[in-house]
């Protein structure tokens, strides 16, 4: 059985239709089963530049390009599949294709040859020009964009860029041209060029890509050097060893969209594979692959130890459902644990995790006494009308608390972040407890007043026999702590949490108590710029010590550089803190793809906006006859609104204009319809085309939301509003459109600013 390596070559390869894909799959399956099978017609080429190159017969009209590396000990050879082309083209390209170990960094490079004139044409046109000539003319300088910081020899001699590519990059006179060149380069060369454009030091770029200081081992022959180079992290951006048929099917069928399953960036791979001596925090901009890393890592931990109890959790149930689906897409055979505490990966929303702990815990009287001050708490029903309960309590109890503080928002935050987080059960404790991170300072009389309301709230809950989610979580955390104290151990060996920026105090208490401190205990994926609920939390308060184990991803895989630039411009001018109170920056954020600029559409009034949004959506999903644009699958188109009322209005308006649209709420997305959802609901999701609708002065930031918080907490609420628009703007893979009527939102910076 031959060893099989598949190269990601989507940039060079033509798009293949479904029937050819099936034939490619059959060809590769046959090749891995028996490479000597005559039906494969594996043939060398007389005039090939690289003697390892072969072509093979996919069908009468298509041939695959391969490299064959023989094993000198006589074992089976290794075949590297580079892609499939129409017959004549494949033969011509193969003659000029080659495999080489980069002598500067040790990375394996599979280079597909070019057809006659293609190289010259590329050099003349450089690359497509999506931003428009005008933009470029304005920004163009006559000097090389890179010359101030690097020499051409740095690019080739220290980084190992292909000399022709390095020269083109060096001749680029502005950032846009450089980004164009990066977007068209293959594998590690593209991401290294982006790093150069960002201004990173050559040594940093080498380190990020895991380049070897001894690139080539001269004691090995060339074939052995090639096989060794396949192990380099940056080689794995282009090549993957196929271990079994199931994996092979995934690679072939996945195509471009599923590259995340196989071709990880060396940094992503590092965070998947590295072991840590305790909690680790992976932050990173929207779309940099934090979720991808968490999923791969969970699978890696499960493979490394089949008895390990792994918890993979995230902010809510819908995101957890997506997480589980993605995990099973990555590996349909992965061991899923159906019950918390069993070996395998248990996937669930974090609130459900709290429930699971209590359901599996038996008597919770001691925990209830410690957290709530009474023993009889039962998980009979969940209280969902929290706002109403606080409102009723504030109206019926004469506490003397100022009206601006006697709001459901302030009281619930105080209850969760201070009272539950510190297991406060008496006024004496509350009067003394530290309240770090709470915007409003409270005098002693104010504390007494708040406590009166807390007591009334608890009385009410006791009468109802109901518990809120934060109470369930606090009880579950305490139950776990008591269990560990009695030497009964923990429910998990490894916990991985995604979207962690939005977790509140009792979530963290639960996570800390779910797993003992130790190797690979907690893996935290988060982005402070995407905090749209609640307030920042300081992890060390919960016994979660990151101490130097924090890293950041900056390369965006989701969206285009233009959309990314626009999304980041929304954050500019505001200061964000990460989970350890460090400053979070967007300085190195960059994207691997280019596209058109986001469209900003001013409408005359609400009716005009509904019409314009409908026209735009229609032009995408049913392009006019003769249009060059292919029809877009409606379910990959999303209209995002700030509130639920606007959401309903857009669903209705699109329907009235003949477009089948559905509101997306707690239900899963239905195929075949345009999705209309709130910006909050869009968290963690992505779509091909996104319209942010109703982005006007009154709705974004939401004037009503800002009015509802005390003055001292307004800056924080404003940060959340800014983050919400950033989250929404960073959901688009390809096209991003923003519409409004009346005065536009103050948060909208122009993309050219």
Ligand X SMILES: Nc1ncnc2c1ncn2[C@@H]1O[C@H](COP(=O)(O)OP(=O)(O)OP(=O)(O)O)[C@@H](O)[C@H]1O
The annotation places the binding site at: 284-291
Give the torsion through C-alpha atoms of 715, 716, 720, 721, to 10 deg. Answer: -20
The reply to whether 78 sits near ligand X by the rule CB under 6 A is: no
Nearer to ligand X, 6 or 45 (CB): 6
Gap between the Cα atoms of 730 and 13, Å rounded = 28
DSSP string, 281-341: EEEE-TTSSHHHHHHHHHHHHHHH-TT-EEEEEESSHHHHHHHHHHHHHH-TT--B-SSTT
Gap between the Cα atoms of 286 and 554, Å rounded = 9
> Which one of residues 81, 150, 260, 687 is an interface residue with ligand X (CB under 6 A)?
260
Gap between the Cα atoms of 233 and 210, Å rounded = 6
Collapsed DSSP state (helix, strand, coil) of residue 84: strand
DSSP string, 720-739: HHHHHHHHHHTTEEEEEEEE
The reply to whether 81 sits near ligand X by the rule CB under 6 A is: no
Q: Identify the CA nearest to 267 among candidates 286, 290, 285.
A: 290
> Which one of residues 176, 455, 478, 527 is an interface residue with ligand X (CB under 6 A)?
527
Q: Is the peptide bond before 701 cis (omega within 30 degrees of 0)?
A: yes
> Which one of residues 730, 739, 741, 745 is an interface residue with ligand X (CB under 6 A)?
730
> Which one of residues 96, 131, 209, 265 is an interface residue with ligand X (CB under 6 A)?
265
Stretch that binds ligand X, among 98-106, 260-268, 466-474, 569-577 (CB under 6 A): 260-268
Nearer to ligand X, 110 or 289 (CB): 289
Sign of CA dihedral 622, 628, 633, 635: negative
Binding mask 545-574 for ligand X (x = CB under 6 A): ------------xx----------------
Binding mask 3-32 for ligand X (x = CB under 6 A): ------------------------------
Gap between the Cα atoms of 370 and 357, Å rounded = 17
Neighbours of 302 (CB within 10 A): 24
CB of 727 to ligand X, least distance (A): 7
Order of all β-strands in the sheet with 3-7: 43-44, 53-57, 62-69, 78-86, 3-7, 239-242
Gap between the Cα atoms of 610 and 599, Å rounded = 16
CB of 262 to ligand X, least distance (A): 8
CB of 236 to ligand X, least distance (A): 10
CB of 392 to ligand X, least distance (A): 37
The reply to whether 533 sits near ligand X by the rule CB under 6 A is: no
CB of 260 to ligand X, least distance (A): 4
Q: Is the peptide bond before 5 cis (omega within 30 degrees of 0)?
A: no
Nearer to ligand X, 68 or 558 (CB): 558
> Which one of residues 686, 706, 718, 749 is an interface residue with ligand X (CB under 6 A)?
686
> Which one of residues 263, 415, 469, 523 is an interface residue with ligand X (CB under 6 A)?
263
Binding mask 267-306 for ligand X (x = CB under 6 A): -x---------------x-xxxxxxx--------------
Q: Are the C-beta atoms of 670 and 633 separated by less than 8 Å?
A: no
The reply to whether 233 sits near ligand X by the rule CB under 6 A is: no
The reply to whether 684 sits near ligand X by the rule CB under 6 A is: yes
Q: What single DSSP character describes residue 583?
A: B
**323, two tokens:** 């997480």
Q: What single DSSP character describes residue 636?
A: G
What part of residues 574-633 is at the interface with ligand X (CB under 6 A)? none
Stretch that binds ligand X, among 16-24, 193-201, 261-269, 373-381 (CB under 6 A): 261-269
Nearer to ligand X, 45 or 735 (CB): 735
Nearer to ligand X, 189 or 225 (CB): 189
Q: What are phi and psi of 544, to 5 degrees?
A: -105, 105
Q: What single DSSP character describes residue 196?
A: H
Nearer to ligand X, 399 or 636 (CB): 636
Residues forming contacts to ligand X in the complex (CB under 6 A) are 259-260, 263-265, 268, 284, 286-292, 527, 530, 557-558, 684, 686, 730
């Amino acid at each position: 059985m031959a060893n099989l390596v598949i190269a990601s070559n989507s940039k060079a390869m033509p798009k293949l239709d479904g029937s050819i894909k099936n034939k490619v799959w059959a060809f590769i399956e046959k090749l891995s089963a028996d490479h000597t099978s005559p039906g494969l017609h594996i043939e060398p080429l007389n005039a090939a530049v690289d003697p390892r190159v072969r072509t093979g017969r996919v069908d009468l009209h298509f041939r695959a390009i391969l490299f064959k590396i023989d094993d000198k000990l006589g074992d089976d050879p290794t075949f590297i599949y580079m892609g499939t082309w129409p017959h004549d083209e494949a033969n011509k390209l193969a003659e000029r294709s080659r495999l080489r170990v980069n002598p500067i960094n040790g990375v394996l490079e599979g280079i597909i040859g070019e057809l006659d004139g293609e190289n010259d044409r590329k050099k003349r046109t450089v690359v497509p020009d999506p931003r428009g000539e005008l933009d470029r003319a304005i920004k163009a300088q006559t000097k090389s964009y890179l010359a101030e910081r690097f020499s051409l020899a740095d690019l080739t001699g220290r980084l190992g860029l292909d000399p022709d590519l390095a020269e083109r990059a060096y001749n680029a006179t502005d950032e846009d041209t450089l980004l164009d060149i990066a977007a068209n380069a293959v594998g590690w060369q593209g991401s290294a060029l982006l790093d150069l454009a960002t201004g990173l030091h050559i040594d940093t770029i080498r380190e990020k890509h895991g380049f070897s200081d001894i690139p080539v081992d001269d004691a090995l022959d060339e074939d052995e050097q090639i096989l060794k180079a396949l192990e380099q992290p940056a080689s794995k951006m282009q090549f993957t060893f196929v271990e079994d048929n199931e994996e092979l099917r995934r690679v072939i069928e996945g195509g471009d969209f599923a590259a995340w399953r196989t071709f990880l960036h060396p940094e992503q791979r590092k965070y998947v594979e590295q072991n840590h001596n305790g909690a680790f925090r992976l932050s990173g901009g929207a779309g940099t692959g934090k979720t991808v890393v968490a999923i791969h890592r969970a699978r890696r931990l499960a493979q490394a130890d089949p008895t390990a109890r792994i918890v993979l959790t995230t902010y809510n149930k819908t995101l957890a459902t997506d997480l589980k689906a993605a995990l099973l897409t990555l590996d349909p055979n992965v061991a899923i644990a159906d019950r918390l505490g069993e070996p395998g990966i248990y996937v669930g929303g974090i609130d459900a995790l709290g429930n699971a702990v209590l359901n599996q815990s038996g008597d919770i009287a001691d925990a209830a006494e410690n957290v709530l001050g009474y023993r009889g708490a039962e998980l009979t029903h969940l209280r969902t009308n929290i706002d109403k309960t606080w409102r009723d309590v504030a109206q019926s109890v004469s506490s003397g608390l100022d009206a601006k503080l006697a709001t459901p928002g302030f009281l619930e935050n105080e209850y969760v972040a201070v009272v539950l987080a510190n297991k406060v059960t008496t006024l004496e404790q509350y009067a003394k407890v530290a309240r770090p991170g709470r915007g409003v300072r409270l005098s002693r009389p104010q504390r007494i007043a708040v406590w009166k309301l807390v007591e009334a709230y608890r009385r009410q809950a006791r009468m109802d026999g109901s518990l809120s989610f934060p109470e369930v979580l606090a009880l579950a955390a305490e139950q776990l702590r008591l269990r560990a104290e009695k030497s009964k151990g923990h429910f998990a060996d490894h916990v991985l949490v995604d979207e962690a920026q939005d977790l509140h105090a009792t979530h963290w208490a639960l996570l800390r108590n779910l797993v003992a401190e130790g190797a690979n205990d907690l893996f935290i994926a988060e982005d402070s710029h995407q905090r749209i609920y609640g307030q920042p939390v300081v992890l060390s308060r919960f016994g979660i010590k990151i101490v130097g184990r924090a890293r950041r991803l900056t390369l965006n895989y989701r969206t285009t550089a233009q959309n990314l630039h626009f999304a980041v411009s929304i954050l500019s001018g505001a200061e964000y803190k990460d989970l350890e109170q460090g400053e979070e920056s967007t300085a190195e954020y960059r994207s691997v793809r280019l596209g058109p600029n986001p469209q900003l559409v001013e409408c005359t009034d609400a009716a005009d906006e509904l019409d314009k949004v409908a026209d735009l959506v229609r032009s995408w999903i049913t392009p006019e006859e003769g249009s060059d644009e292919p029809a877009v699958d409606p379910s990959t188109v999303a209209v995002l609104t700030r509130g639920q009322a606007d959401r309903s209005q857009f669903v209705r308006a699109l329907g009235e204009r003949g477009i089948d649209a559905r509101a997306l709420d707690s239900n899963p997305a239905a195929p075949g319809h345009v999705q209309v959802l709130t910006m909050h609901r869009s968290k963690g999701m992505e779509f091909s085309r996104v319209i942010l609708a109703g982005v006007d002065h009154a709705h974004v930031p939401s004037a009503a939301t800002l009015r509802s918080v005390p003055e001292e907490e307004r800056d924080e609420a404003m940060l959340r509003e800014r983050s919400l628009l950033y989250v929404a703007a960073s959901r688009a893979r390809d096209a991003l459109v923003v519409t409004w009527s009346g005065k536009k939102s103050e948060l909208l910076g122009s993309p050219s600013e």
